[in-house]
């Protein structure tokens, strides 16, 4: 992440936590990767059909789906309900269930990565809006329909600070 922490600037909500805990996330990722490499004979089903999931383990895709549906809020009841719902259609193997915690952790790291990209994008938008001149407010207001909500929010904050 490319945030300059030496210069005081307002950062998007969640950025400080991410910056403070990045090394832990990286450590967990490396540990999980090593564990998977050491497991030589993992027998999980790979998705064969075309699409973005092709070539990935079924249990990993399920973990990604679970995290997506719960917005990363993983609880025992969520896992049980999700897996029971899936297994009404197709039964998971014991090996797949055994590796679920590993794939959930990897999926959570992927989710954090997406959040990081969103935070970085928000920060870049804020930087752009902070550089915008408030000289001709009329021109800026004409651009509002073409702005996304983060640009509008930052513009409003900038106007409030000027007054």
pLDDT tens digits for the chain (163 residues)? 455 554 557 788 888 888 889 899 999 999 998 888 887 778 889 989 888 889 999 999 999 999 999 999 999 999 999 999 999 999 999 999 999 999 999 999 999 999 999 999 999 988 888 887 777 677 777 888 888 888 888 888 888 887 6
| 146 and 95 share one domain | no
Residue 8: its pLDDT value, please? 55
| 29 and 81 share one domain | yes
Which among 49, 75, 47 is positioned nearest to 61, based on CA atoms? 47
User: How far from 16 is each of 10, 21, 63, 125, 159, CA to CA, in Å?
Assistant: 10, 9, 27, 18, 25
Torsion angle, CA of 50/94/87/60, rounded to 10 degrees? -40
| 96 and 147 share one domain | no
How many structural domains comprise the chain? 2
Residue range(s) defining the domain that contains residue 77: 15-120
Whole-model pTM: value is 0.78
| 100 and 143 share one domain | no
| 136 and 113 share one domain | no
Residue 125 domain flag: no
Write out the two tokens for 9: 């600037």
| 110 and 144 share one domain | no
| 50 and 29 share one domain | yes
Q: How far apart are CA 148 and CA 47, in angstroms?
A: 37
Residue 159 domain flag: yes
| 91 and 149 share one domain | no
Write out the two tokens for 27: 């450590």
Write out the two tokens for 73: 């809020």
Residue 27: its pLDDT value, please? 93
Residue 1: its pLDDT value, please? 47
Residue 7 domain flag: no
| 105 and 146 share one domain | no
| 113 and 137 share one domain | no
């Amino acid at each position: 992440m490319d945030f300059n922490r030496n210069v005081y600037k307002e950062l998007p909500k969640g950025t400080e936590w991410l910056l403070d805990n990045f090394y832990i996330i990286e450590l967990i990722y490396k540990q999980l990767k090593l564990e998977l490499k050491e497991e030589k004979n993992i027998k999980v089903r790979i998705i064969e059909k075309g699409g973005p999931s092709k070539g990935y383990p079924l249990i990993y895709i399920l973990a990604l789906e679970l995290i997506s549906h719960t917005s990363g809020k993983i609880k025992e009841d969520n896992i049980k309900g999700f897996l029971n719902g899936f297994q009404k259609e197709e039964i998971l193997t014991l090996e797949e269930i055994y590796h679920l915690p590993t794939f959930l952790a990897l999926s959570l790291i992927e989710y954090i990565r997406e959040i990081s990209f969103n935070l970085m994008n928000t920060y870049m938008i804020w930087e752009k809006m902070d550089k915008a001149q408030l000289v001709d407010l009329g021109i800026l207001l004409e651009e509002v329909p073409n702005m996304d909500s983060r640009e509008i929010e930052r513009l409003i904050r900038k106007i409030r600070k000027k007054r």
